[in-house]
Amino acid sequence: MDVLKKEEVYTIEDIYALPDGQRAELIDGKIYYMTPPNTKHQRLVHFFDREIGNYIQSHKGECEVFPAPFAVFLNKNDKNYVEPDISVICDKNKITDKGCNGAPDWGIEIVSSGSRKMDYYKKLFKYRTSEVREYWVVDPEKKVVTVYDFEKDNMEEYPFGIDIPVSIYEGFTIKVE
């Protein structure tokens, strides 16, 4: 007789119980461990943090930009916890001492060899269904940025080196080199 193996369902408590220094994300109750980012990845995180932060500050914007590690609790349940490389949050009521309760307005993920499937598939679906307004997947290996504008139900790919329009900010473009 075949017995179905019961798959363990994890919660945010399990994420907080991880050993110091161990980073992971939680999607639909499944833990996905994260490898430490490389230098190119960190340079891109810093670049986006600086570009977006400077734009918001110079336009006296209400939104805030948070680089990873920054906790985003996508849903009202305790089965989804992600750390986008960049989170832009415009609703101050979502921001707490622990992170962001609910979807950020704009999320950016920088692809690494170990995160490709997560960034292009699992997170894309979760972000879309949790009402993220805009999602960028930055692929340094392919030198392309895939932009998902969920409000307009649109997807565009842009090569590095050209101005990429930001949907949530009219007139704001970013050139990824």
Q: What is the pLDDT of residues 26-51, one digit of tens each?
A: 999 999 999 889 999 999 999 999 99
Dist. CA 45–CA 140, nearest whole Å: 12
Find the helix or strand (DSSP H, E) in which 87 lies: strand 86-89
The SS3 call for residue 140 is: coil
- Would you state the pLDDT for residue 7? 74
**Confidence band (pLDDT; 50, 70, 90) for 2?**
low
Hunting for tokens 């989804």 — which residue is that? 80
Dist. CA 33–CA 166, nearest whole Å: 30
User: Would the pLDDT of 8 be above 70?
Assistant: yes
Reported pTM: 0.93
Arithmetic mean of pLDDT, 8-37: 93
User: Would the pLDDT of 139 be above 80?
Assistant: yes
Question: b/e for 36-68, b at 16 or more Cβ within 10 A?
Answer: ebeeebeebbebbbebbbebbeeeebebbbbbb
